[in-house]
Amino acid sequence: MRRGIVLLLLSLILVACVPCPPCPEYPPTATPVVPTPLAWDVKLDARLDALNVSIDWTGKETQRYWPIAVWMTYDGNWGDVPDWAKPYLTNFPEAGGDHNVFGRCLDQYGNALDKTFLLTWPDGAAGRTPEDSGWANAPIYGGAYYPDAGEVGAYTWEALNGLPVTGIGMPYARHTSYFIVWQEQPGYAGISNVDMDAAR
């Protein structure tokens, strides 16, 4: 019996002293980088980039309304606007304004909201609410700015609690109007006004 225990202990010691074969090396598993999608695709008039007009995405996580469509006209002419923007012309008699900003705000289901919009510039600001068409609008003035020299327009247009569109103005002194549609982010659905006020 004693001899059996001694032999068992010796065999365990010998097994423990034998080196194990090396473990196979596997490459580390890469953590996939998943881009954070926007709540929706934003439709942008391709001409805006050359005019240094852009959406200011700063603080997007806290803003209730995001732009979903941004386009422009020269001299009130809708002939060269993107095809996706033309359906917005329905029941929109003010659409021919030639030096204006226009804003429309929708809830997450696409219903027009009676929102306040704010136009700001370096030494002033003006608030607007929608007309019967559902669009708010304000005139823009001022001299020329030259985008090809890196200049940006002096105006910013936003729906309250929405992401602003910046760099608006009259490039090369040409009469230009800008149209922006904002929509409520889906994440805000079902949140009461009291909760929203506390979150602001």
pLDDT, one tens digit per residue, over 83-113 is 999 999 999 999 999 999 999 999 999 999 9
Q: How many domains would you assign to the chain?
A: 1
Report if residue 104 sits inside a domain: yes
21 located within any domain: no
Give the model's pLDDT for residue 60: 86
In Å, what is the CA distance from 60 to each residue of 29, 33, 65, 135?
Answer: 32, 21, 9, 23
Q: Residue 64 belongs to a domain with what CATH number?
A: 2.60.40
In tens, the pLDDT along 123-163 reads 999 999 999 999 999 999 978 999 999 999 999 999 999 99
Structural domain harbouring 161: 51-186
Answer yes or no: is 20 within a domain: no
14 domain residue, yes or no: no
Position 126 in a domain? yes
The answer to the question of residue 80 being in a domain is: yes
Q: Is there a domain that residue 94 lies in?
A: yes
Per-residue pLDDT tens digits for 14-42: 445 555 555 555 445 444 333 333 445 79
The predicted pLDDT at position 199 comes to 36
